[in-house]
A and B are shown apart, each in its own frame.
Chain A
Amino acid sequence: MSKYINKAVFAQVLALILVILAVPMMAWAGGGGGPFSAGTFSAIQVGLVLFAVISAWLLKGKMGLPMPKLIQAPLLWVICYVGFRIILTPPIPFSLLAMYMGVCTVAIFLYCSLTTPSWEEFSHPIAVMLREDHGTAKLSRYATFLIVPGLIAFQTYSQMLPSFGEPIELRTVHPAPPASINLHKKTYNLQTAENPFRVGEDGNYLKVGDEAQYFGGNAWTGDVPKFLQQVQQGGTVFFGTAGCFFCHGDNLDGKGPFSFAFNPIPANFADPGTISQLQETFVFWRVAKGGPDLSREAFPWASAMPPWEKHLTTNEIWKVIIFEYWHTGFFPRTWG
């Protein structure tokens, strides 16, 4: 018993010092209040991780003082929590944090019970705490039976407290499109329609992927290839005629000056999970019909996107789509 307690105390003190030093410093620096630049902050994080690894190695390998599993487990849990809650910025929503920490909790339990010696090391102090009748065991038993129900009671109380926040909406961001839409007196089959301005130098349809040759070029110089001419005209719609940038941002990252006035906020085209996952016709449908035509699964009107069919021509809609893919460097989804 004593060997566990000695090692536990030693390792616990070390772990606590690490956590006490690291957590507030990271919160302070990460929150923008610190004197560190982003690069220095990353270097500090790497340094702390290295310090922890080297300390563990020294303790186990050189001093013969491996950290007991019962201490490793909560320490690992705290490290995971700090990583997901503080180091990972911007902060992730609580639902995702709960999922990640759920996985980590299970993983830590599995880690402690991977082998029989490991499990015995982990469970023995718990068994002692539950069964033995001497001072330390008794004390830790009483403490456990006070702390654990206390934590559960606190959690229950926190959950029952009335909240004034807006309720969570599990909104479908990419609802299934209709089979076809009517636009300016013409019907477009969304399964088969193609962007008429996706053309190469020979004037023929440019296969998706082949436009990569134009990525990185400047569409606004004098004599540019046909494809870049379409990009230029689409850019004019984005920044001029329609003013898409007010919401979707100069960099198409959904951070335009108006963006934070809306809920949900505008789509971020620069993210690999938006337009690069969709067919061009899907984007065509969204631009043309906007929020009012969203399907029931995506809450019709739960988007401030105007129905641009009322303000833009069909050609302008196709061209602005060409511009969006070109600017972000993504390719639309195809099934060919």
Chain B
Amino acid sequence: MLNVFGESKKKIGALILLGMFSFLALLPFAPVATSLALAEEEAAVVEGEESDEPKMGKDVFYKEEGEFGPISGPPAPTMVYPDDYGTYGDFQSRTIIWISNQQHLYFGSFVLAVPMFVWVMELIGIMITQKGDAKLGKKFDDLAHEMMKISLTAYSVTAILGGILIFSFLALYPGFFRYLSGIFRPVMHIYALLFILESGVLYVYYYGWDAMNDRCGDWKWGHLALGTVLNAVGIALMVMANTWVSFMMSPAGVDAEGHFLGDIWKVMHNPLMVPVVVHRILGNAAFGGGVVAAYASFRFLSAKTPEEKGHYDWMSYIAMFMGILALIPLPFAGYWLMREIYGYRQQMGITLMGGLLAWVFIMQATMIATLFITVNYYLFQAMGRMPGSERYYPAFKFLLAILVVSTISWLTPHTLVMTPAELKAMGGAQHPVVGNYGVMSAKNTAINCMITTTVVTFMIYQRCNVNLKVPWAWKGNIFLGFLISMAYVNILFLGVYGYYIPANVRIGLSVPQVASTLTVLFVGVTVNLKMLKGAEPVGEIQWGKMSVRGAYALFMLAVAFTWTMAVMGYLRSSVRLHWHVNEILRDNSPWAFTNPLGYAGNINSLNVLLFWTMLLFVFWLSALATAGKKKVEAEEAATAGTAVPAGSH
């Protein structure tokens, strides 16, 4: 099949195809210029002004150059209940929007994340095939194809949920939706056009897989180029949806009354847009990895043959690994986002971290700690299928101990829940010992220790089934031991030092702490890999022999991702308090209050349950298709009088 690799003209063909699709992808942006020109024209005649000079408004965010812009739209309306709000019986309209939004986001995140993995898997497959291992290359290619199949079913569900969301907005929040769509009018059609483009590319990419792979093998690079376009369009879609959300949190490009000032880029490039987008991309990737790993675990647990078990064990490992690659930088992206929020509005930062919503961060800490502990636990279980790993078993409990102590430190709240009697017994609102763990110095130290420990576990995983043969192995081990110890010492020292210096310097300490963690990640893993060169295997990895606890751990991982997304979505949305658009468009509905944590916890759990119920349906559909294919293959094989191949995937 892939007999054409290495031929440069095919790559050139692929590049031309990529160029054509990129051109098509850019086409929808052409009308923006026209929209801007129209906006300026409209500004000149707004509200019956006779003067030729457009009336200027002062931007709520941008200062100095570009501070003023032509008023190009109506002001933000004063919302009136019930005229500007709709209801369905006694249900809280906000909760209906909340659920439909969250479900759309879950599936949207998933279908945007999977093509990223698929692209990487397909590329790895091509590269391995080029190196001469066609069998392994095909294995990666099949894996990518199978991942895409799950994504395709989920894509339809995403579209349906998107429709439900739009109709919910129109029915329940017509006033708000009218204002927001008025502001984003210059780019609304781009979103729709991008969505059409995404659908087209996706279907060609998926249904053309075999055709471009086998029957017309020359097109393999072209197929990968299609994957690039698919990801580019997907990210563009996500960025656009994020600009609406970040505009609601930190508006720009409008004046204090909410008039659009004619420059859509300022509206989109609002103060929180970039950190929200970065955080979202990493979050999507981690979440997508978790869900695919859960799918593979589901198939692993239900597999009937050793081959099937082996395949899905391998698939779950690859998906988990991809998810973790995105998870490791995620806390740092979150930290940056919080810093930007504080920079934008002190009140918003305090409401989040020290005030009304501070307890949500304890929930988040619990979930993130669950993620890291689960990843480590999975790797411990995964080592069970690697002969030779027994040598490292005694170390597991110490690694677990570091994770548990870090977790306890991380989830110690600053504001304790206690009865007045407990408060008096404690002698104050802050405990003299555990109170020290309620502040950021302790939290940063804890998360860095957890990530470093995860990297150490991974390094053990890499080497557990081989005997090192490089002559400098002992030096390498000493170096690694020193590197890891120094990282822990540095992280702990800076964590303690943070209590003795001003807050602005303390925030800066997170950089060397993260640097220690990343040094272990990049330098440690690289040295470890170098040491594995020419290593003598103790035994091959016995794919399919992983304990069921490992498979369940991956379910836990995926559910923890889902719950974390739900709880942080509630947090990000609640921080606007009683504003639809912060300080511009006030929420005057009966649901303008901030939901209590108990209610939020219930709705979040309901969202998680709904998502997983739908997702299990998607998994079942995918398994059904595979089962049908296998049956046909088996019948064909029987007719031909040959043996039935066990487990095609």
Q: Quote the shortest CB–CB distance from B453 to chain A (angstroms).
A: 14
User: Closest chain A residue to B393 by CB distance?
Assistant: A115
Q: A264 to B351, Cβ gap below 8 A? A: no
In the bound complex, CA of A111 to CA of B394 (Å): 11
- A-B CB contact pairs (8 Å), 8 listed: A90-B427, A96-B416, A96-B431, A114-B393, A179-B347, A209-B505, A265-B428, A268-B429
Least Cβ distance of A180 to chain B in Å? 11
Segment at the B interface, from A6-14, A42-50, A326-334: A326-334
The answer for the CA separation of A327 and B203 in the assembled complex, in Å, is 68
Q: Are A172 and B436 in contact (CB under 8 A)?
A: no
- How close is B442's CB to chain A, nearest CB, in angstroms? 9
- Contact (Cβ within 8 A) B356 A271: no
| Docked complex Cα distance between A114 and B428 (Å) | 40
Q: Is B433 interfacial (CB-CB < 8 Å)? A: yes
* A279 CB contacts on chain B under 8 angstroms: 346
| A119 interface neighbour in B342, B359, B547, Cβ under 8 Å | B547
Q: Are A166 and B419 CB-contacts (below 8 A) given A100-B408, A111-B400?
A: yes
User: Judging by beta carbons under 8 Å apart, are A174 and B350 in contact?
Assistant: yes
Q: Is the CB of B426 within 8 A of A90?
A: yes
Given A93-B417, A103-B408, A172-B358, are A268 and B430 also a contact pair (CB < 8 Å)? yes
Interface string of B408-437 (1 = CB under 8 A from A): 100111111111111111111111111110
Task: Give the distance in Å from the alpha carbon of A246 to the alpha carbon of B423 in the complex.
Answer: 19
Query: Does B314 sit at the interface, judged by CB under 8 A?
Result: no
Contact pattern, B 301-345, Cβ under 8 Å of A = 1, otherwise 0: 000000000000000000000000000000000000000001100
Give the residue name and chain of the B residue nearest to A165 (CB): B419
Q: How far is the CA of A165 from the CA of B419 in the complex (A)?
A: 8
A110 to B435, CA, bound (A): 27
Known: A96-B434, A268-B428, A277-B439. 8 other contacts (CB 8 A): A93-B423, A170-B359, A172-B355, A174-B415, A265-B424, A268-B430, A273-B438, A278-B354
Contact assessment for A176 and B355 in the assembled complex, using a CB-CB cutoff below 8 Å:
yes
B374 to chain A, nearest CB (A): 9
Looking at B412, B422, B597, which has the most chain A CB atoms within 10 Å of its CB? B422
Question: Residue on B with the closest CB to A210?
Answer: B502
> In whole Å, how far is A194's beta carbon from the nearest beta carbon of chain B?
14
Listed from nearest, the 4 A-B pairs whose CB atoms lie closest are A93-B418, A331-B502, A333-B503, A174-B354
A253 touches B356 (CB 8 A): no
Residue of A nearest to B597 (CB): A170
Determine the chain B residues whose CB is within 8 A of the CB of A68 once the complex forms.
Answer: none
A226 interface residue, CB < 8 Å from B? no
A175-B355, A177-B346, A297-B355 as given contacts; A107 in contact with B431, CB under 8 Å: no
Q: How far is the CA of A94 from the CA of B422 in the complex (A)?
A: 8
* B522 interface residue (CB < 8 Å to A): no
B346: A residues at CB distance < 8 A: 176-177, 190-191, 279, 335
- Cβ of B380 under 8 Å from chain A: yes
Q: Does B450 sit within 8 A of A, measured CB to CB?
A: no
Q: In the complex the two chains form, is A90's CB within 8 Å of B432's CB?
A: yes
Contact with B along A71-103 (1 / 0, CB 8 A): 000000000000000001011111110011001
Interface members, chain A 148-204 (any B CB < 8 Å): 165-168, 170-179, 190-191
Given contacts A116-B547, A190-B346, contact A273 B426 (CB under 8 A): no
Does B479 touch A at the CB level, under 8 Å?
no
B404 pairs with A103, CB closer than 8 A: yes
Q: Chain B 498-510, CB within 8 Å of chain A: the 1/0 string?
A: 0101111100000
Given A114-B380, A176-B347, A268-B430, A331:B342 Cβ within 8 A: no
Cβ A96 vs Cβ B354 within 8 A: no
Specify which chain A residues have a CB less than 8 angstroms from the CB of B380 in the assembled complex. 114-115
Bound Cα distance from A174 to B432, whole angstroms? 18
Which of these, B420, B425, B597, contacts A91 with CB under 8 Å? B425
Residues of B within 8 A of A333 (CB): 502-504
Cα-based distance from A208 to B502 in the complex (angstroms): 7
- Expressed in whole angstroms, the Cα–Cα distance for A230 and B343 within the complex equals 30
A276 to chain B, nearest CB (A): 7
On whether A92 and B434 interact (CB within 8 A), knowing A170-B359, A334-B502, the answer reads yes
Q: Decide: B429 and A255 in contact? CB cutoff 8 A.
A: no
Residues of A within 8 A of B475 (CB): none
* CB of A58 to closest CB in B, whole Å: 18
Contacts of A178 in B (CB 8 A): 347
A301 vs B612: C-alpha distance in the bound complex, in angstroms? 45
| B384 on interface, CB distance cutoff 8 Å | yes
A170 touches B415 (CB 8 A): yes
Would A107 and B400 be within 8 Å (CB), given that A168-B417, A260-B424, A272-B499 are in contact? yes
Bits for A18-51, please: 1 = Cβ < 8 Å to B, else 0.
0000000000000000000000000000000000
**Is the pair A176, B419 in contact by a Cβ cutoff of 8 Å?**
no
Q: A113 an interface residue at 8 Å Cβ cutoff?
A: yes
Are B356 and A277 closer than 8 Å at their CB atoms? no
A90-B355 CB under 8 A given contacts A173-B415, A209-B501, A277-B439 = no
B419 touches A96 (CB 8 A): no
Instruction: Tell me if B431 and A92 are in contact (CB < 8 A).
Output: yes
Among B359, B429, B501, contact of A267 (Cβ-Cβ < 8 Å): B429
Asked if A221 CB lies within 8 Å of chain B CBs, one says no
Is A233 in contact with chain B by the CB < 8 A criterion?
Answer: no
Contact B419 A114 (CB under 8 A): no
Q: Which residues of A sit under 8 angstroms from B504, Cβ to Cβ?
A: 208-209, 333-336
Asked if A90 and B418 sit within 8 Å, CB to CB, the answer is: no
Within 8 A of A (CB), among B365-384: 373, 377, 380, 384
Tell me which residues across on chain A come within 8 A of B359, comparing CB atoms.
170
Q: A254-B428, A273-B438 are in contact. Are A104 and B503 (CB under 8 A)?
A: no
Bound Cα distance A245, B594 (Å): 37
CA distance A64 to B600 in the complex (A): 53
Contact with A along B380-397 (1 / 0, CB 8 A): 100010000000010011
Chain A 110-153 per-residue mask, 1 if CB under 8 angstroms from chain B, else 0: 11011111110000000000000000000000000000000000
Known: A104-B404, A114-B397. A173 touches B429 (CB 8 A): yes
Q: How far is A267 from B418 in the complex, measured between Cα atoms in Å?
A: 16
Q: Within 8 Å of chain A (Cβ to Cβ): is B530?
A: no
Residues of A within 8 A of B419 (CB): 93-94, 165-168
Which residue of the partner chain A has the closest CB to B547?
A116
Q: Does B549 count as interface, using CB distance less than 8 angstroms?
A: yes
Q: Is the pair A90, B425 in contact by a Cβ cutoff of 8 Å?
A: yes
Residues of B within 8 Å of A174, CB to CB, are: 350, 354-355, 358, 415
Give Cα distance in the complex from A72 to B411, angstroms.
25
